[in-house]
Amino acid sequence: MQSGTILVSTVEYMELVDITDKIEKDIAKSKITDGVCVLFNPHTTAGLTINEGCDPAVRSDVIKALKKIVPFNISYQHLEGNSPSHVLASLVGSSLSLFVHNGRLQLGTWQKVFFCEFDGPRSRKIHWRFL
């Protein structure tokens, strides 16, 4: 079993950052050919998701839709002022499990793995483990 950490720097308050290449580089370095890659995000105002990665408009559409789902202008009680970010992180989730076969992530044709920033910009990390 091998594990490590991927570093991600975000530049926007909310953004989806494609981390697929970083994960695949770590798979290549590990020499793992088959198994499961588990990703865990240890941050309470960020998430992980898989979605279409070819058209950047999809990322902005996802952010627009999430902003409609989670209101930013209600009286949250959390004093830091980032309660919507906590709600968004809970909706998206903090972990993913991905199949690896022949040293490659088994994603669909258009799929990519995204780190979802909801309280940036920040320096973040994602822990991975190959099983």
Residue 110 pLDDT? 97
The Cα–Cα gap between 41 and 31 comes to 23
Q: Name the DSSP letter for residue 121.
A: S
* CATH annotation of 2-130: 2.60.120.460
What mean pLDDT do residues 6-25 have? 97
- In the three-class reduction of DSSP (H, G, I as helix; E, B as strand; rest coil), residue 29 is classed as helix
Residues in the chain: 131
Per-domain residue ranges of the chain: 2-130
- Tens of pLDDT, residue by residue over 57-78, are 999 999 999 999 999 889 998 9
- pLDDT(39) > 90: yes
Other C-beta atoms lying within 10 Å of the C-beta of residue 48: 19
pTM of the model: 0.95
